Structure 1
């Protein structure tokens, strides 16, 4: 730095409060962003039918977001059918794979609203007659609901480990043997993964205006098109 240059600090756009930066009520903009992400997922899931491709579902979601003023996402919309339900990376976009008569769709949407808030929602839908996958998804939805009910403002991110999820999984009679990013087995038909994978970004640090909310329940099928 030369004597003629005036340095300027680069700081976050939001301020930090002394002590726990916690509120019982989320920022309104964040709530709107998360509601929009959920709506986009619902629209994408409703477009699922045999023969519909991942790329086509992605366009349905993109069109909905554009109609609601969204011009940017903070990572790609993940659309996975069949084996692709096990992939959720920004390097693997939606492809030409088409839905079979019996399938699972995983959809992960990440809108940025015009006011700068980030949303994040994952949803799954079982297509066709597949009782094992439907049971796994129902179990994970119950785990997700109990996890949200268990959480409280100011709770460290790891405080609920093994709590409500463990209890619900046991009550399901072993249908879901394990939850989390690594997945588990669902009725022997495939792997199940709770997108209640504790993706409350920044849950154990001061809240950020653009941070997303909890993830959502999802099923990942190891062999959706087979027996």
Structure 2
């Protein structure tokens, strides 16, 4: 079978090669010993013992099995800043980093999606307002590093358990059109009695704008007439978040 040259991960990953192709012991690539030591550190001391670049290396071991992944991990962090930003960034931007081709970029996004799914599962069937840290962690993982604004709604039942989580609108780098009537209509369709509004600021600054505040108040008024409570409107930035309720804006 011919090797797919479009997949930089290599055929069969780290599967052992036939004996006739094994290099002599002194000809082993230098990075193999480093991989073994890094895996051992993770196994014995856990992830807290590893800086971001080494944890990222561990992820890349399987994705790029036949190369030294330390320079790639460091290049990703130099470009995007943190491990969370690497996993949260756009697939096309990942491919601009030397050593990251389409297959590895896609695999990193799969890892990011799995992380988001895990965080979301922690909210399901829980009293959401008592799990505020998990709400913020999930929203940050889902939205903080998006290149365009997204308007997300968490729909809650009468016990404040999560019914649904939906991105209702996606806009530009600094604006998302939001229609209060559509927000309330969707809440009624899902039999939600309360909602949490969330949107991101791609600029990184989570400070609410005047338009954000006015739009939120319109949704609150529209919901009141139909028995739907707006618990909060959270704005997510790369370095933090802002709660309109916490800021006494609503």
TM-score by length of structure 2 reads: 0.28
Larger radius of gyration: 2
Higher normalized contact order (CA 8 Å, seq sep 6+, divided by chain length): 1
TM-score by length of structure 1 reads: 0.30
Query: Whose helix proportion is higher, 1 or 2?
Result: 2
